[in-house]
């Protein structure tokens, strides 16, 4: 997902809005699909149930009609012989007269397919209709005769509606008069039932569309709310970021000015005064040489000594700014030189210990750990009042760890908890340097002293060096 956003080349606010809206849109789509599927399933079950109930009512109506017709012809049919033509004629007349509604009538086919009664479609009477099918290819006559032979049943097919002349779906019920080999039946058109089912389906579709509109409206409102919230958060974050950036820029300027002031003081108080002494010594030596005074060589020696001191001071300042040992020999020798110089300058007993490890630190890690040690020693010199300091640097399976410990008064009196975040500028610089390397900085302070541990992860250690390389390259 992160790579996808990076490829889109979007701004922070756009990424935030996209990350907030994508789950919402996907959830709305999933809910819509789920509602649609379940609604359609429920609707189809309800519509099928309604259709079955309507058709069942039509079938029950057909049975009632046919029971009435059977009762009307029973006197003639029950007393007649199989070849009683007079009784057959009376029955056909009775059935032809039994009309109901605009389209209701009774029909009769003999088992050979010849139509005997069809009052609504008289053109069918007297003709044989075996093999008759409707517009959809459904057998009509043959199926009705088959049902009559088996005792009776229902059959559905397309048939012209007498009142309109157009084809509609008909459900017919037929029984057999086995003595006469007749199929007697009637049918009702179920277009009204189908219209009712269609209206129900259309109502469901309309409700589903309204549901979709509601879901879409709610989703749109939520997106608008997310957009407004994201815009507000973005503006607020920009203001906070600008304030932090200004604060950080000011801190950088302050640090630069502090460093420039320190270098300027050291140049003025150290090198400048030494060079002034050299100038006076050389000037006195020049005058004594002009007068032939034998003490001129003494003044030259003093000038040379002062000049050597100036060279040493320049080297010290250069080492404080960027020690050459760090680039040439590695972190271990640079920290050792720093510890020795600290002990010589302050008189504090300073111990340095390191374990040789063949994984060398990269440049960023070396500089960061060296500056942490340098800042820690500066704080010890200025504030701790310690008499003993120990520095330890070593590599391990998780990376590399620098440990600086002293027996001073601690830094808890400065308004900071023992394991809490650093509040001073120097301690904050330590924290930021290590955090930039994805490392950890822990500070434990009390009345018996302070321990600072800085750890950089294994990703900042280079591959092991070849054993044939000089031992110095095995140092950090």
Q: What are 78-112's pLDDT values in tens digits?
A: 888 888 889 999 999 999 998 888 888 999 999 99
- Determine the average pLDDT of the residues in 211-221: 82
Query: Do residues 170 and 156 touch, judged by C-beta distance below 8 A?
Result: yes
**What residues does each domain of the chain span?**
81-189, 326-474
Q: Which two tokens stand for residue 211?
A: 């549901």
Q: Which two tokens stand for residue 147?
A: 């049902």
Helix (H, G, I), strand (E, B) or coil at 63: helix
| Distance from the Cα of residue 320 to its chain's centroid | 49
pLDDT tier at 468 (50, 70, 90 boundaries)? very low
The residue ranges of DSSP E strands in 178-231, in sequence order, are 182-189
Q: Can you give the pTM of this predicted structure?
A: 0.45
- Determine the average pLDDT of the residues in 27-41: 77
Burial (CB count <10 Å: 0-12, 13-18, 19+), residue 122: exposed
CATH number of the structural domain 81-189:
3.30.450.20
CATH 3.90.1150.10 correct for 326-474: no
- Determine the average pLDDT of the residues in 154-172: 88
Q: Minimal CA–CA distance to 170: which of 236, 104, 71?
A: 104
Provide the mean pLDDT of the chain. Answer: 80
* Contacting residues for 452 by C-beta, under 8 A, at least 6 apart: 372, 376, 403, 404, 405, 430, 441, 442, 443
Q: Which two tokens stand for residue 412?
A: 């808890």
**What's residue 464's pLDDT?**
56
Q: Minimal CA–CA distance to 181: which of 145, 139, 155, 153?
A: 145
Q: What are 342-380's pLDDT values in tens digits?
A: 888 888 888 888 876 554 677 788 888 888 888 888 888
Burial (CB count <10 Å: 0-12, 13-18, 19+), residue 187: buried
pLDDT exceeding 70 applies to what percent of the chain? 86
Query: Do residues 118 and 125 touch, judged by C-beta distance below 8 A?
Result: yes
C-alpha to C-alpha distance for 91 and 463, rounded to whole angstroms: 111
pLDDT tier at 416 (50, 70, 90 boundaries)? very low
Q: Minimal CA–CA distance to 91: which of 66, 109, 74?
A: 74
Q: Is the pLDDT of residue 247 over 90?
A: no
Q: Is the pLDDT of residue 198 over 60?
A: yes
How many other C-beta atoms can be found within 10 angstroms of the C-beta atom of residue 65? 20
Identify which has the larger pLDDT, 102 or 313: 102
- Determine the average pLDDT of the residues in 274-293: 80
pLDDT tier at 414 (50, 70, 90 boundaries)? very low
Query: Do residues 401 and 457 touch, judged by C-beta distance below 8 A?
Result: no
pLDDT tier at 175 (50, 70, 90 boundaries)? very high
Burial (CB count <10 Å: 0-12, 13-18, 19+), residue 404: buried
- Determine the average pLDDT of the residues in 249-273: 75
Identify which has the larger pLDDT, 108 or 383: 108
**What's residue 236's pLDDT?**
83
* Contacting residues for 417 by C-beta, under 8 A, at least 6 apart: none
**What's residue 192's pLDDT?**
75
Helix (H), strand (E) at residue 392: strand 388-396
pLDDT tier at 465 (50, 70, 90 boundaries)? low
């Amino acid at each position: 997902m992160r790579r996808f956003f990076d490829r889109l080349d979007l701004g922070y606010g756009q990424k935030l809005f996209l990350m907030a809206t994508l789950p919402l849109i996907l959830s709305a789509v999933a809910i819509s699909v789920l509602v649609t599927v379940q609604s359609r399933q429920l609707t189809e079950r309800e519509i099928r149930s309604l259709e079955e109930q309507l058709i069942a009512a039509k079938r029950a109506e057909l049975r009632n009609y046919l029971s009435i017709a059977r009762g009307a012809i029973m006197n003639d049919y029950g007393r007649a012989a199989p070849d009683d033509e007079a009784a057959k004629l009376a029955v056909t007349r009775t059935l032809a007269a039994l009309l109901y509604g605009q389209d209701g009538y009774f029909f009769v086919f003999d088992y050979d397919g010849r139509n005997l009664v069809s009052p609504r479609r008289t053109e069918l009477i007297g003709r044989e209709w075996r093999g008759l099918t409707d517009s959809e290819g459904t057998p009509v006559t043959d199926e009705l005769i088959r049902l009559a032979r088996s005792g009776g049943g229902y059959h559905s097919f397309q048939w012209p509606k007498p009142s309109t002349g157009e084809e509609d779906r008909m459900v017919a019920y037929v029984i057999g008069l086995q003595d006469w080999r007749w199929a007697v039946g009637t049918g009702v058109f179920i277009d009204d039932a189908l219209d009712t089912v269609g209206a129900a389906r259309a109502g469901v579709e309309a409700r589903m569309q309204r549901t979709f509109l509601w879901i879409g409206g709610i989703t749109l409102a939520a997106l608008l709310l997310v957009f407004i919230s994201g815009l507000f958060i973005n503006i607020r974050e920009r203001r906070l970021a600008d304030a932090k950036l200004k604060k950080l820029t000011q801190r950088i300027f302050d640090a630069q000015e502090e460093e420039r002031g320190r270098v300027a003081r050291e140049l003025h108080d150290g090198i400048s005064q030494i060079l002034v002494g050299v100038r006076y010594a050389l000037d006195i030596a020049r005058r004594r040489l002009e007068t032939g005074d034998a003490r001129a060589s003494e003044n030259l020696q003093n000038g040379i000594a002062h000049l050597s001191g100036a060279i040493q001071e320049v080297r010290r300042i250069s080492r404080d700014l960027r020690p050459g040992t760090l680039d040439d020999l590695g972190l271990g020798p640079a920290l050792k030189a720093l510890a020795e110089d600290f002990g010589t300058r302050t008189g504090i007993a300073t111990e340095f210990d390191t374990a040789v490890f063949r994984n060398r630190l990269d440049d960023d890690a070396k500089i960061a750990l060296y500056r942490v040690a340098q800042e820690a020693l500066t704080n010890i010199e200025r504030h701790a009042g310690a008499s003993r300091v120990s520095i330890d640097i070593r590599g391990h399976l998780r990376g590399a760890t620098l440990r600086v410990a002293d027996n001073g008064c601690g830094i808890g009196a400065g308004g900071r908890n023992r394991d809490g975040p650093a509040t001073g500028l120097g301690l904050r610089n330590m924290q930021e340097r290590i955090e930039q390397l994805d490392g950890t900085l822990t500070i434990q302070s009390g009345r018996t002293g302070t321990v600072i541990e800085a750890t950089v992860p294994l990703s900042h250690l280079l591959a092991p060096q070849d054993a044939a390389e000089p031992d110095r390259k095995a140092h950090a």
